């Protein structure tokens, strides 16, 4: 249990707050690049700041304050030019740094524009996402986490805005035991209410609703690593006594809960402000050697459907159940009232890491996972050794390698625009005998 002031320190992300200052050391994804193909200007709110993201007519990206310095017209209606964004009201032009470069209705000899500046932050594109950095300059390198650069893979991006603080989402990544009820008993209960239990849960060996119900743990451990926290568990009754490597938590706000097979999902919990989270589910479907995937010129994205046509919450897929568990805690949960048990050791460890890194920044230090030299990360930062010479499935279940047999219905992937490609890939992998099963 935390004191009220300790909880506030962990949750609030505005400029000048301890967590806000820590978060401003990191690059954060703020939009799928494909979204700017539909409209090159997008309003963005991140870490409590209202901004406008744009792609100009030369292909350059910019992230600037959302109001023109002249008379506060909204730049979300701005006109992309060859090198910047022009205010629709009086034509003032801003470059990617927020510097005003033209005031066309002022006198021709006016130097006024040189004294006009709005916010401007660095932005970069990688893996189909656009990232921004809101901290002090110079900016560190954008980390090349492996999921963004793995070759021979299909990708799609699921986006959700949740009405709750980012930490409620991220702490779920340290919780290995919620599967048994949230994705086991509760999942089965929802299917029962929908009249889908027999259809969706017929295969008790691979179906999520029943696999998780069996997974009582005899061993649970969280180990701190150079990049975050690695989780390990052992299942009660496993005759071989196998230890499973659980989802990896990458500091400060990433996790990879689905790994060990063809499908990896990389979740990023981006704080919009103190009570809203921009949740990114970055999904990668990796083909083993000898099986090629079609080239994606654009990585597609989709908005995750949370409510049905009658306004009822959709709860028959895994991450939808997580979303409900997180935002049902309220906009910012009161951790001074919680009662933690032995299985919450990972959450306690993670909170200590957050406090440690906030204190480090407050003392003038540089937090973990901030990179300044290319050699510190190489071509990619390898969090998962799955790209080796052989391709094997690890873990106790493998339904996420069997989407071509209908199991995609259990995951939010079912809403994705690339599902036809993914289903075909998994079918071809099975036919090639390239997927080893445990």
DSSP conformation letters of 137-167:
SSP-PPP-BHHHH-SSEEEEEEEEEESS-HH
The reply to whether 14 falls in a domain is no
The reply to whether 366 falls in a domain is yes
Report pLDDT digits (tens) over 45-82. 999 999 999 999 999 999 999 999 999 999 999 999 99
What is the C-alpha separation between 157 and 284, in angstroms, rounded? 9
The reply to whether 256 falls in a domain is yes
The reply to whether 205 falls in a domain is yes
What is the C-alpha separation between 89 and 11, in angstroms, rounded? 37
Q: Which residues contact 412 (CB under 8 A, 6 or more apart)?
A: 158, 281, 304, 317, 318, 319, 320
Same domain, 71 and 165: no
The reply to whether 5 falls in a domain is no
Domain count, the chain: 2
Q: Determine the pLDDT at residue 341.
A: 92
Same domain, 263 and 353: yes
Residue 131's nearest CA partner among 245, 261, 14, 268 is 268
Contact 163, 310 (CB under 8 A): no
Same domain, 188 and 165: yes
* E strand or H helix at 170: helix 166-170
Cis peptide before 387 (omega within 30 of 0): no
Report pLDDT digits (tens) over 173-219. 999 888 888 988 899 899 999 998 888 877 655 556 665 555 666 66
The reply to whether 340 falls in a domain is yes
> Domain holding 64: CATH number?
2.102.10.10
> Domain holding 253: CATH number?
3.90.380
Contact 369, 252 (CB under 8 A): yes
The reply to whether 10 falls in a domain is no
Q: Which residues contact 259 (CB under 8 A, 6 or more apart)?
A: 247, 248, 384, 386
Q: Which residues of the chain have pLDDT under 50?
A: 386-397, 437-438
* Domain encompassing residue 75: 28-133
What is the C-alpha separation between 280 and 303, in angstroms, rounded? 10
Contact 410, 317 (CB under 8 A): yes
Same domain, 196 and 283: yes
What is the C-alpha separation between 282 and 280, in angstroms, rounded? 6
Within 10 A of 304 (CB to CB), how many other CB atoms are there?
Answer: 21
Domain end (from 67, 98, 133): 133
The reply to whether 8 falls in a domain is no
Domain end (from 133, 162, 196): 133
Same domain, 128 and 276: no
Q: Cα dihedral angle (393, 394, 395, 400), rounded to 10 degrees?
A: -30
Q: Determine the pLDDT at residue 211.
A: 59
- What is this structure's pTM? 0.93
Contact 28, 142 (CB under 8 A): no
Contact 62, 96 (CB under 8 A): yes
Same domain, 102 and 173: no
Domain end (from 105, 133, 161): 133
Alpha helix (H) ranges present in 195-290? 197-200, 208-214
């Amino acid at each position: 249990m935390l004191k009220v002031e300790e909880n506030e320190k962990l949750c609030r992300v505005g400029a000048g707050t301890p967590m806000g200052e820590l978060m401003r050391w990191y690059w954060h994804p703020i939009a799928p690049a494909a979204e700017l193909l539909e409209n090159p200007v997008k309003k963005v709110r991140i870490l409590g700041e209202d901004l406008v993201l744009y792609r100009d007519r030369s292909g350059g990206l910019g992230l600037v304050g959302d109001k023109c310095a002249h008379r506060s017209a909204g730049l979300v209606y701005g006109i992309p030019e060859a090198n910047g964004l022009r205010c629709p009201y009086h034509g003032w032009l801003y470059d990617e740094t927020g510097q005003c470069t033209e005031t066309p209705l002022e006198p021709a000899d006016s130097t006024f524009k040189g004294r006009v500046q709005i916010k401007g932050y660095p932005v970069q594109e990688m893996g189909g996402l656009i990232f921004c950095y809101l901290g002090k300059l110079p900016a560190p390198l954008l980390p090349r986490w492996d999921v963004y650069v793995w070759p021979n893979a299909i990708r799609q991006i699921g986006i959700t805005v949740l009405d709750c603080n980012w930490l409620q989402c991220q702490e779920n990544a340290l919780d290995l035991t919620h599967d048994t009820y949230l994705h086991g008993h509760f999942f089965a209960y929802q299917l029962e209410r929908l009249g889908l239990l027999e259809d969706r849960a017929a295969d008790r060996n691979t179906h999520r609703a029943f696999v998780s119900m069996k997974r009582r743990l005899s061993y649970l451990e969280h180990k701190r690593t150079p990049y975050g926290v690695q989780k390990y568990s052992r299942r009660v009754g496993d005759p071989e006594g196998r230890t499973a490597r659980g989802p990896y938590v990458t500091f400060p706000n990433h996790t990879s809960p689905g790994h060990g097979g063809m499908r990896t999902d990389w979740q990023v919990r981006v704080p919009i402000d103190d009570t809203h989270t921009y949740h990114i589910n970055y999904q990668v479907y990796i083909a083993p050697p000898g099986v090629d995937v079609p080239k994606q010129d654009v990585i597609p994205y989709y908005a995750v459907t949370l409510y049905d046509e009658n306004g009822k919450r959709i709860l028959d897929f895994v991450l939808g159940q997580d979303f409900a568990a997180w935002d049902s805690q309220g906009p910012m949960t009161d951790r001074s009232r919680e009662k933690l048990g032995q299985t919450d050791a990972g959450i306690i460890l993670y909170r200590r890491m957050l406090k440690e890194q906030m204190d480090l920044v407050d003392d003038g230090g540089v937090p973990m996972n901030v990179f300044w030299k290319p050699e510190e990360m190489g071509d990619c930062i390898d969090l998962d050794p799955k790209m080796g010479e052989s391709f094997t499935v690890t873990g106790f279940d493998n339904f996420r390698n069997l989407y071509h047999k209908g199991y995609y219905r259990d995951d939010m992937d079912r809403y994705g625009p690339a599902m036809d490609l993914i289903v075909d890939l998994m079918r071809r992998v099975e036919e090639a005998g390239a997927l080893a099963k445990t």
